Amino acid sequence: MSEPNRSLNCPRCSSAMEPGYIIDVAYGTRAVPKWVAGLPQKSIWTGLKLSGRDQIGVATYRCRRCGYLESYASG
Ligand SMILES: [Zn+2]
């Protein structure tokens, strides 16, 4: 997972935003969400087909003042 190398200010209240990430929790596992190229295709085996798709980890910034979230999948 990579993050933009810059400090961000909240587009709503202009306060500083801190880097972080949102986790997916399922069946006792924890994982960082990923951006996947294209439209979602259902799979009866895994829920979604992902083979051959580009996948990029998602970094999410949070405004310390108002809680606004902004996400980046910058590869
Ligand atoms: Zn804010």
**Would you kindly state where each structural domain of the chain is located, as residue ranges?**
8-72
Confidence at residue 72, expressed as pLDDT on a 0 to 100 scale: 94
Query: Do strands 42-43 and 47-48 pair parallel, antiparallel, or not at all (unpaired)?
Result: antiparallel
DSSP 36-48: ESS---EETTTEE
CA distance 7 to 14: 12
Q: Residue 4's pLDDT band (boundaries 50, 70, 90)?
A: low
Span from the CA of 47 to the centroid of ligand 1 (angstroms): 35
Q: Are 42 and 16 in contact (CB under 8 A)?
A: no
Span from the CA of 46 to the centroid of ligand 1 (angstroms): 37
- By CB atoms closer than 10 A (0-12, 13-18, 19+), residue 63 is buried
Span from the CA of 21 to the centroid of ligand 1 (angstroms): 17
Six token digits for residue 48: 């979604």
pLDDT tens for 15-31 read: 999 999 998 887 888 88
Span from the CA of 3 to the centroid of ligand 1 (angstroms): 19
